[in-house]
Every structure is written in structure tokens, then in C-alpha cells.
């Protein structure tokens, strides 16, 4: 998978740390949801792939 757009879906919960294993993603948009992350590696991954991931 290279593109994943789940933006503006009112998704909630914590993003699983395994999400960071989606290394083939070239574009990720999960902004404007209510998602959280606590795993440091996952947060780094998300900030690299979608800097606006925590925007609400």
C-alpha cells in the first residue's frame, strides 16, 4: 500500500504501534480525526508521513 487517506472520518482511539510497519506508504492522511499515539517510534513515523495527523 502506498496511499492511505482516512482523513475527516471522526475516527477515535489510539493508533496501534504496528501502524509504523507500513513502510511502503508514500502518502498518509489521517488528519481531522480524534486519534492518539503514545509509542515514540509511531509518533516519529506519523510526524514524518503526515505532520498534521493530530489536527482536529
Residues 7-43 pLDDT 10s: 999 999 999 999 999 989 999 999 999 999 999 999 9
> Once rounded to an integer, what is the mean pLDDT over residues 45-49?
94
pLDDT grade for 6, boundaries at 50, 70 and 90: very high
The dihedral formed by the CA atoms of 18, 21, 25 and 26, expressed in degrees to the nearest 10: 110
pLDDT number for residue 54: 87
pLDDT number for residue 55: 74
pLDDT grade for 56, boundaries at 50, 70 and 90: low
Q: Which stretch of DSSP H or E encloses residue 13? A: strand 12-14
Write the Ramachandran bin of 33: left for phi over 0, alpha for psi from -120 to 50, otherwise beta. beta
Amino acid at each position: 500500500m502506498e496511499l492511505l487517506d482516512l482523513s475527516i472520518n471522526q475516527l477515535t482511539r489510539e493508533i496501534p504501534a504496528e501502524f509504523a510497519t507500513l513502510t511502503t506508504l508514500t502518502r498518509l492522511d489521517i488528519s481531522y480525526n480524534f486519534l492518539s499515539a503514545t509509542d515514540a517510534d509511531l509518533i516519529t513515523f506519523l510526524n514524518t508521513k503526515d505532520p498534521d495527523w493530530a489536527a482536529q
